[in-house]
Amino acid sequence: MKSLIARDLKLLVRQGADSAAALVFFLIAGSLFAFAVGPSPAVLAHIAAGVVWVCALLAALLPLDRVFGPDFEDGTLDLTLLSGLPAYEVALAKAAVHWLTTGLPLLVIAPVLAVMLQLPGGEMGLLLASLLPGSMIFSLLGTLAAAVTLGARRASVLMPVITLPLMIPALIFGSSVAGSAHPAAAFYMLGAIFAAALPLAPLGAGLALRAAAE
């Protein structure tokens, strides 16, 4: 599993356009909200946390078609599944790579967008604390959707249709952490979603990978 993660990281470092595109999209999409609602600091501060969360969700969707797609097309996925590594561990490794190359960079640059949107300084820590499990949830559920649509026609269209409804609960609770009078309740719900997605999403993705390989 470690070898698979290391291999995928090396490949993505050589082909860093997808991760860079997700980060650029994150910043541009967030900036558009400022143009749309106007420069009022009070309005921007009120919507800042929600905007950051929505942009992070959409940016996480961009590289999903390359999570399994290239390996499926060139036969690497079949060899990986025949290597003795359980399918759910393959899926978990792919989710980890997606988070390391997309979720973690989004987490690093999220403060830049939050400052642009006039997020109060006291809420920055809550925003980042909620984005940490939130970005992992996006990677886990996105990997599940990528596996389910693997080999399907118009997979790029089906993937957001499957993924977005699964991510909405995390979006609701995660964006409620910053700025809430009682952030602990929303944060605990976000943690519960992560605790459920961590074992279940790789198991479901592993079953889908087996079905696609057969």
Check whether 121 has a pLDDT greater than 90: no
Q: Mean pLDDT across the stretch 54-69?
A: 90
Q: Would you state the pLDDT for residue 66?
A: 85
Q: What is the pTM of this model?
A: 0.92
Give the Cα separation of 46 and 91 in Å (integer).
37
Give the Cα separation of 114 and 125 in Å (integer).
11
CA of 29: how far to CAs of 51, 130, 174, 183, 198, in Å?
9, 20, 19, 26, 28
* Mean model confidence pLDDT for the chain: 89
pLDDT digits (tens, 9 = 90+) for 2-52: 888 898 888 877 776 767 888 999 999 999 988 888 888 888 888 999 999
Give the Cα separation of 34 and 133 in Å (integer).
26
Give the Cα separation of 109 and 119 in Å (integer).
14
Give the Cα separation of 115 and 48 in Å (integer).
9
Task: List the one residue out of 95, 80, 83 whose CA is nearest residue 147.
Answer: 95
Q: Mean pLDDT across the stretch 77-99?
A: 90
Place of tokens 């290239």: 70
Residue 154: pLDDT band with limits 50, 70, 90 = confident
Q: Would you state the pLDDT for residue 166?
A: 92
Q: Mean pLDDT across the stretch 115-136?
A: 92
Q: 110: which 2 tokens?
A: 């999220």
CB 58 within 8 A of CB 179: no
CB 86 within 8 A of CB 206: yes
Give the Cα separation of 78 and 119 in Å (integer).
47
Query: What percentage of residues in the chain have a pLDDT greater than 70?
Result: 99
Query: What percentage of residues in the chain have a pLDDT greater than 90?
Result: 54
CB 136 within 8 A of CB 52: no
Buried b (16+ CB within 10 A) or exposed e, 10-35: eebeeeeeebeebbeebbebbeebbe
Q: Would you state the pLDDT for residue 16?
A: 66
Give the Cα separation of 8 and 208 in Å (integer).
20
Q: Would you state the pLDDT for residue 67?
A: 87
Q: Mean pLDDT across the stretch 135-161?
A: 87
Check whether 80 has a pLDDT greater than 70: yes
Task: List the one residue out of 123, 127, 204, 134 whose CA is nearest residue 169.
Answer: 134
The domain spans of the chain are 2-213
Q: Mean pLDDT across the stretch 172-183?
A: 86
CA of 89: how far to CAs of 4, 6, 41, 77, 81, in Å?
10, 14, 46, 13, 10
Q: Would you state the pLDDT for residue 112?
A: 93
